[in-house]
Amino acid sequence: MADRRFLMRFLTLLLLVLLAFPAQAQDRVIRTEQGTFALLNARIETITNGTIERGTVVLRDGVIEAVGTNVTPPADAQVIDAEGLTLYPGFIDGGTQIGLQEVGSQPETQDYNELGEVTPQMQALTAVNPNSVHFPIARVAGVTAALTSPTGGLMPGTAALVRFHGYTPAQMDTGFRGVALNFPNSARRGAFDRRTDEDIKKQFEEAMERLDETWDQALLFARIDSAGAASGQPQRPAYQPEMEALLPVLRGSAALLVEVNAAADILKALEWLEGRDVRAILTGVAEGWRVADHLATAGLPVITGPVLSMPTRGSDRYDRAYQNAALLRQAGLQVALRTREVENVRNLPFNAGFAVAWGRDLGFDRQAALEAITIAPARMFGVEDQLGSIEVGKAATLFAADGDPFEPSTQVQHLFIDGYQIPIESRQISLYEEFLNRNPGLTR
């Protein structure tokens, strides 16, 4: 690590020198520019086509135009020498509330939990605040997109996959929609959930009943709607916004994101999903390792995490949560990772690194972890034509790091989202630059 330290020192010194000359100080305004860029001499971890030890990537009109060792940079391209840097596709967080909350304790800034148990018509994208301070902080860690989801109740709303650049929700939208289902839960929430066993059982049964009723109602609604359309009559069933919102799930254009965690509930959810023709993605799946064989039989994709979380039972081995992703993948499942964060979505790469540290003996190596935050979620969300790897024709969403992006000491040096060059700036970095050597210091 010594060389890296030296480099860091040098860069910091350079920064201080720059700051010492106000005339040359950096523009504090974050402005992004789209253009034609050629990144030369880079190590390229493409994810889907191996690693190119020394190559070039050309970005034009928001997409990757060329990748390879024998690429000549176009004459009009801005050239970036990426010597010593490695390129990665932007990371994707498989589950967050980013954009839906600004400050944790302030209800005025929280827009992820609408009143009501069944509210699939609530659109996360509507409430995503493109100006949230959290987006720049996450993206300078290499995380460039996340599923952001409503929470609370049985069907809290429709989640969306957003990219971390844009001035309107529409500009941030990748197109993916998934209706969130909190599958009835028999586990306790946290160490201080003091409900009695009877209460938990009763609430579980009530929730199952409500789920079945809702689903039957949705099927009927869809049948009436389809019948109306088939008969060529413009008449539609009586307006029911909840049911309208479930139509895309029943017709396969939106996924059903099934949040389920306790082993018994996972089995129940698999049973419930059997025979229901939906694009289901299981989320959470904290105790998935206990029932990995059942999950493997069902073969549904899984978004699990945070990796940095506690075992669910006192008798569990201390590292079970760290290993869950690896054990699920070992069982043959498609696995993506999530932080379930807002302000610390930036920790996604560290979650991936922890999954490797505890999962490598089970075959969950660095490549597996990279896939779990790039191409795997891209495939689950049906956006693998845009995101998840460095390939020609995909969105020019990638970053250059001076080392392994899972290692805390690594710095992201260049960042592109849809071909926009994003400055490595955030409020947290600005505060560092302002206060490292505060002026005035102790005396005015």
Interaction with other proteins in 186-225: which residues (CB under 8 A)?
186-193
- H-assigned helices in 196-250: 197-230, 241-250
Q: For other proteins, which is the closer residue by CB, 90 or 248?
A: 90
Question: Which residue bears the tokens 């009723």?
Answer: 213
Closest CA to 418 of 387, 391, 376: 387
Distance in angstroms (rounded) separating the CA atoms of residues 430 and 205 = 51
DSSP code, position 204: H
DSSP code, position 232: T
CB of 424 to other proteins, least distance (A): 12
Rg over CA atoms, the chain: 23
Residue range at the interface with other proteins (CB under 8 A); choices 81-89, 232-240, 416-424, 425-433:
425-433
Binding of residue 418 to other proteins (CB under 8 A) = no
DSSP code, position 239: P
CB of 132 to other proteins, least distance (A): 10
Binding of residue 79 to other proteins (CB under 8 A) = no
CB of 345 to other proteins, least distance (A): 11
Interaction with other proteins in 333-352: which residues (CB under 8 A)?
Answer: 340, 342-344, 346-347, 350
Q: For other proteins, which is the closer residue by CB, 34 or 411?
A: 411
Cα–Cα distance list, 203 to 117, 153, 184 (Å):
13, 12, 8
C-alpha triplet 87, 357, 267: angle, nearest 5°: 105
Residue range at the interface with other proteins (CB under 8 A); choices 21-29, 117-125, 185-193, 238-246:
185-193
Distance in angstroms (rounded) separating the CA atoms of residues 326 and 322 = 8
* CA 77 from centroid of its chain's CA atoms: 31
Distance in angstroms (rounded) separating the CA atoms of residues 218 and 147 = 25
Interaction with other proteins in 90-149: which residues (CB under 8 A)?
Answer: 102-106, 134
Q: For other proteins, which is the closer residue by CB, 86 or 312?
A: 312
Binding of residue 407 to other proteins (CB under 8 A) = yes
Binding of residue 413 to other proteins (CB under 8 A) = no
Q: For other proteins, which is the closer residue by CB, 251 or 313?
A: 313
CB of 278 to other proteins, least distance (A): 24
Binding of residue 170 to other proteins (CB under 8 A) = no
Identify whether the C-beta of residue 113 lies closer than 8 Å to the C-beta of residue 152.
Answer: yes
CB of 407 to other proteins, least distance (A): 5
Cα–Cα distance list, 34 to 168, 396, 399 (Å):
17, 10, 15
Binding of residue 441 to other proteins (CB under 8 A) = yes
Interaction with other proteins in 297-326: which residues (CB under 8 A)?
Answer: 306, 308-319, 321
Number of residues that bind other proteins (CB under 8 A): 72
CB of 286 to other proteins, least distance (A): 6
Q: List 52's β-bridge partners, or say none.
A: 44
Whether omega for the bond prior to residue 349 falls within 30 degrees of 0, making it cis, is no
Token pair listed for 142: 């290499």
Interaction with other proteins in 360-379: which residues (CB under 8 A)?
Answer: 360
DSSP code, position 439: S
CB of 105 to other proteins, least distance (A): 4
Interaction with other proteins in 219-258: which residues (CB under 8 A)?
Answer: none
Binding of residue 21 to other proteins (CB under 8 A) = no
Whether omega for the bond prior to residue 22 falls within 30 degrees of 0, making it cis, is no
C-alpha triplet 5, 434, 398: angle, nearest 5°: 55
Q: For other proteins, which is the closer residue by CB, 166 or 353?
A: 353
CB of 427 to other proteins, least distance (A): 8
Q: Which of 1, 29, 75, 230 binds other proteins (CB under 8 A)?
A: 1
Concatenated DSSP letters of 2-59:
HHHHHHHHHHHHHHHHHHH-GGGPPP-S---EE--EEEEEEEEE-SSS-EEEEEEEEE
DSSP code, position 213: H
CB of 406 to other proteins, least distance (A): 5
Q: Which of 12, 72, 240, 253 binds other proteins (CB under 8 A)?
A: 12
Q: Which of 215, 358, 364, 420 binds other proteins (CB under 8 A)?
A: 358
- H-assigned helices in 23-111: none
Q: Which of 353, 377, 388, 419 binds other proteins (CB under 8 A)?
A: 353
Q: For other proteins, which is the closer residue by CB, 305 or 377?
A: 305
Q: For other proteins, which is the closer residue by CB, 59 or 342?
A: 342
Q: Which of 25, 30, 229, 431 binds other proteins (CB under 8 A)?
A: 431
Token pair listed for 313: 């039972």
Identify whether the C-beta of residue 405 lies closer than 8 Å to the C-beta of residue 418.
Answer: no
CB atoms under 10 Å from CB of 31, counted, come to: 10
Binding of residue 8 to other proteins (CB under 8 A) = yes
Token pair listed for 58: 């050309």
CB of 436 to other proteins, least distance (A): 5
